Every structure is written in structure tokens, then in C-alpha cells.
Amino acid sequence: MQPEVLAAPAKGQDFEELLGQADEHAIEGRHAEALQTYEQAYAAMPVELKATGVGELVVLAAGKAAIGAYEADGNVQWLVRGRALLVDFIKEVSARPDAAPPSVDAARARLEEIDATLPETTEASSPPEPPPAAPEPATTTIAPTDDGPKPGSRRKAGLALAVSGGVITLGGLALLVAGTRQVPWFQQRMEELGWTPDHPDYATEAARAERTRDIDIGVGAGVMVVGVGLGVTGAVLMARSRKPPAVAFSGAVGRDGALLTARLRF
């Protein structure tokens, strides 16, 4: 299957709508369609979100979809396109060291997974990964002790942290689920193809499935820790405000993606 040229988002489609469509494709195992829609969602994403945990979740899901699409039809361009999104995200984070950006460890791990999957004779067409930004000197700011934050600003900050924490936690959970199901899925796939352990490529493919499982579980656990921490901090801030809004989350998790919906009542 020849990868399609990335189409511009249809008129009226926003980032959230495209992301929801991409997650649905990923959950249903339509990896090529998922990758293309994740590309559109990343392109439509507000610039201020690209170097945040939201941007990280999109490029991690796109990288996962790229590997799935490549394994389905063997077209290396899926890997090249998934790799390009990950490199772009790392560049965005490196270019904004003063904006408290998220860690790029998960993106680097997914990038390494794609590079390990690329055939040895293939050169990635995406630009090289930029070096990590040099840390800035630590500074200490003494805040006035007689004037705390206003309840309104505290409530908004808490809400932002709670929503971000929920999104990140669900993303980590999706990676954990994907990791635990990776080896059983591989075994089922091999049975469908008629492969047995005596097949000359069986051991290589089994090792790749185990490596993917380990990466997904390790990254997913780390992402969940970050998400839970943000969510708890946001909940504490909202509880301390005079009139905290009610926040309700609902979501769906699949092997390759997750969909989160937040409902707010002020």
C-alpha cells in the first residue's frame, strides 16, 4: 500500500475532532488511517499545545500507528512519517526550554523503536534529532508572604492540571494495556500466518514483540505517574478555591490508543 499524501483537515474539523477520529482508527486496528489522522491532528493542534503533554500523546500514538502500518504492509514510508512527527515534537520541546516542557524520554524511546524497526538499508528522510537543550541556571524567587494567589486563578490552574493529568494518565494506561497485549497479539498473528516456532524469522519477530512490550509498559508506567501527580495537584488546587468546578471524565482504551472526554460544570 502506497502511503497517501497528507491532506489538509476538512473545513470545520478541529484538533479535538481529528484526535478522536485518529483514536477510533487506532482502536479498530486501522493503523495507516490512524497515522494519517494523527498527522492532521498534530498539524491542526494549537501551537501552544505542541510542546506539552498533549502534543506528546499525539506523536507517541502516531509512532505506534506507524509501526503497526509498516508491519501490516511492509511499506517503510509509514515509519519515516511517524519518525518525522516524533522528531518535530522533540524540536518543539527543545526550542522552548523556559516553558516547563514535558520530558522527551518517551518520545526518544518511541523514536528508537522505529529506528530499530527500519530496515538497515533504509535511511530516514526526516531531519536528525536535535541535541537536548542545555539546562538554564537555577534561580530562586522569594514570593511575598502577605498576598496569596486569587481563588479564580487558583481554580483555573487546578482545572488545567486536572484535565492534563487525566489525559496523560489515560495515555499511560493505554500504553500499559498495549504492552501487556503485545506478545499475545504477536502469537495470534503468527498463528494466522501459519508460522511455527521452527520458522526462520519467528525468533526475530518474537524478540521484536517482547522489546515493544517492554517499552510500552515502561513508558506507560512513567506517563501514568506523571499524569496522576498532575491530577492530584489540580484537585488540591480546585479544592482550595472558593467555588471549584465539577469535572467528570470518561474514556475508552484500546491496544494502540485512548480517547478521553472531559465534562465541566461551573
DSSP one-letter string for 67-78: HHHHHHH--THH
Tell whether pTM > 0.75: no
How far apart CA 3 and CA 23 sit, in angstroms, is 19
How far apart CA 111 and CA 224 sit, in angstroms, is 20
Cβ neighbour number for residue 26 with a 10 Å cutoff: 28
Cβ neighbour number for residue 111 with a 10 Å cutoff: 23
Angle at the Cα of 146 from the Cα atoms of 142 and 151, rounded to 5 degrees: 100
Q: Is 140 helix (H, G, I), strand (E, B) or coil?
A: coil
First to last CA, the chain: 49
The torsion defined by the Cα of 136, 98, 51 and 128, in degrees rounded to 10, comes to: -40
Q: Residue 29 has what pLDDT?
A: 94
Range of lowest pLDDT (24-28, 44-48, 96-100, 177-181): 96-100
E strand or H helix at 247, and its extent?
strand 246-253
Contact (CB, 8 A) for 161 and 230: yes
Q: Residue 69 has what pLDDT?
A: 95
Grid cell in block for residue 108 = 526518544
How far apart CA 238 and CA 159 sit, in angstroms, is 7
Grid cell in block for residue 242 = 472558593
Phi-psi region of 100 (alpha: psi -120 to 50; beta: other; left: phi over 0): left
Q: What is the pLDDT of residues 215-240, one digit of tens each?
A: 888 887 887 778 777 777 877 766 77
Contact (CB, 8 A) for 199 and 186: no
Nearest CA-CA partner of 93 in 113, 107, 83: 107
Q: What is the pLDDT of residues 122-162, one digit of tens each?
A: 554 444 444 455 555 555 555 544 455 555 666 677 677 77
The torsion defined by the Cα of 53, 166, 249 and 40, in degrees rounded to 10, comes to: 20
E strand or H helix at 261, and its extent?
strand 258-265
Q: What are the φ/ψ torsions at residue 226 (nearest 5 degrees)?
A: -65, -45
Contact (CB, 8 A) for 90 and 103: no
Q: What is the pLDDT of residues 239-255, one digit of tens each?
A: 776 554 555 555 555 55
